[in-house]
Amino acid sequence: MPIPVILASLLIGPSQAASPSDIFRSVFNFISGNQETTDNYILLKSVVFDVRLPRVLLTFITGGALAISGCSMQAIFRNPLTDPYILGLSSGAAFGAALALAFVFIPVQLSAFIFGLLAVVLSYFMARKNKNVSIVSLILSGIIVSGIFTALLTVVQYFSDPFKLQSIVHWTMGNLHNANWSKLQSAIIPIAIGVTVLIIYRWRMNVLAMGDDEARTAGINPDKDKLIILLAATLASSSAVAVAGIIGLYGLIIPHMVRMMIGPDNRQSIPLNFLFGGTFLLVIDDFSRTISGFEIPIGVFTMLLGAPFFIYLMKKTNIGLMW
Amino acid sequence: MKAIQIRGLSFSYNKICVLDNVNADIEIGKLTFILGKNGSGKSTFLRIIAGLLPYKKGDIHILGNDNSKLNYTERAKIVGFLNQQHKAVFPFSVEEVVLTGRAGYVNYIPKDIDKQAAHVAIEKVGISHLTNRNYTELSGGEQQLVMIARVLAQNPKVLLLDEPTTHLDFGNQAHLLSLLKKLANDGLTIVAVLHDPNLAFLYGDDFLFVRDKQVIRSATSVDAWNVDFLKTIYHGNIETIPYNGRALLIPDMN
Q: Which of A217, A223, A226, A317 to mutate to test the interface with B (most CBs of B within 10 A)?
A: A217
Cβ–Cβ under 8 Å, residues A195 and A69: no
Determine the pLDDT at residue A293. Answer: 65
Which of A19-28, A110-119, A304-313 shows the lowest mean pLDDT across its residues? A19-28
B112–chain A Cβ distance below 8 A for any pair? no
Contact yes or no for B154 and A319 at CB 8 A: no
A32 vs B79, more confident = B79
**B219–chain A nearest CA distance, Å:** 32
pLDDT in tens, A41-82: 777 777 777 778 888 899 999 999 999 999 998 888 887 777
d(CA A266, CA A281): 21
A323 within domain boundaries: no
Give the CA angle between residues A1, B97, B199 to the nearest 5°: 165
pLDDT in tens, A92-137: 988 988 888 888 778 877 888 889 889 988 988 888 776 666 777 8
d(CA A197, CA A276): 18
* Averaged pLDDT, B193-211: 87
Cβ–Cβ under 8 Å, residues A292 and A15: no
Q: Which of B78, B89, B131, B157 to mutate to test the interface with A (most CBs of A within 10 A)?
A: B89
**CATH code where residue A186 lies:** 1.10.3470.10
Backbone CA torsion sign across A70, A71, A77, A80: positive
B77–chain A Cβ distance below 8 A for any pair? yes
Closest by CA position to A97, among listed A84, A88, A85, A106: A106
Every domain of chain B with CATH number 3.40.50.300 lies at: 1-78+160-165+191-254
Residues B57, B58, B62, B65, Cα dihedral to 10°: 80
Contact yes or no for A322 and B91 at CB 8 A: yes
A2 within domain boundaries: no
d(CA B26, CA B22): 13
B140–chain A Cβ distance below 8 A for any pair? no
Q: Kindly report whether the global pTM for this prediction surpasses the value 0.90.
A: no
Of B50, B97, B99, the CB nearest to A217: B50
Determine the pLDDT at residue B249. Answer: 82
pLDDT of residue B64 exceeding 90: no
A14 within domain boundaries: no
Tell me, what's the ipTM?
0.88
Tell me which chain B residues have a C-beta less than 8 angstroms from the C-beta of A214. Answer: 83, 86, 100, 150
A135 within domain boundaries: yes
pLDDT in tens, A209-238: 998 899 999 999 988 999 899 889 988 988
Q: Which residues make beta-bridge pairs with B193?
A: B34, B162
d(CA B49, CA A47): 67
Cβ–Cβ under 8 Å, residues A66 and A251: yes
Tell me which chain B residues have a C-beta less than 8 angstroms from the C-beta of A206. Answer: 92, 96, 99-100
Cβ–Cβ under 8 Å, residues B144 and B133: no
Contact yes or no for B91 and A323 at CB 8 A: no
pLDDT of residue A242 exceeding 70: yes
d(CA A198, CA A233): 7
Residues in contact with A296: Cβ distance below 8 Å, sequence separation at least 6, in sequence order: A288
d(CA A303, CA A299): 7
Determine the pLDDT at residue B125. Answer: 87
Determine the pLDDT at residue A33. Answer: 61
Of all residues in chain B, the percent with pLDDT exceeding 70 is: 96
Contact yes or no for B108 and A200 at CB 8 A: yes
Contact yes or no for B103 and A265 at CB 8 A: no
Domain count, chain A: 1
Of B72, B86, B93, the CB nearest to A220: B72
Determine the pLDDT at residue A311. Answer: 77
pLDDT of residue A34 exceeding 70: no
pLDDT of residue A305 exceeding 50: yes
Backbone CA torsion sign across B63, B65, B66, B70: negative
A11 within domain boundaries: no
Query: How does residue B155 score in pLDDT terms, banded at 50, 70 and 90?
Result: very high
Pairing of strands B57-62, B4-13: antiparallel
Chain B residue with the nearest C-alpha to that of A267: B109
pLDDT of residue B217 exceeding 80: no
Of B104, B134, B136, the CB nearest to A219: B104
**B21–chain A nearest CA distance, Å:** 25
Strand residues in A102-205 grouped as ranges (E): 128-129, 132-133
Give the CA angle between residues B107, A201, A54 to the nearest 5°: 140
Query: How does residue A191 score in pLDDT terms, banded at 50, 70 and 90?
Result: very high
Determine the pLDDT at residue A36. Answer: 59
CATH for B1-78+160-165+191-254 is 3.40.50.300
* Averaged pLDDT, B93-97: 94
Range of the domain at A298: 20-316
A199 within domain boundaries: yes
Of A202, A265, A322, the CB nearest to B89: A322
Average pLDDT over chain A, rounded to whole?
82
A145 within domain boundaries: yes
pLDDT of residue B89 exceeding 60: yes
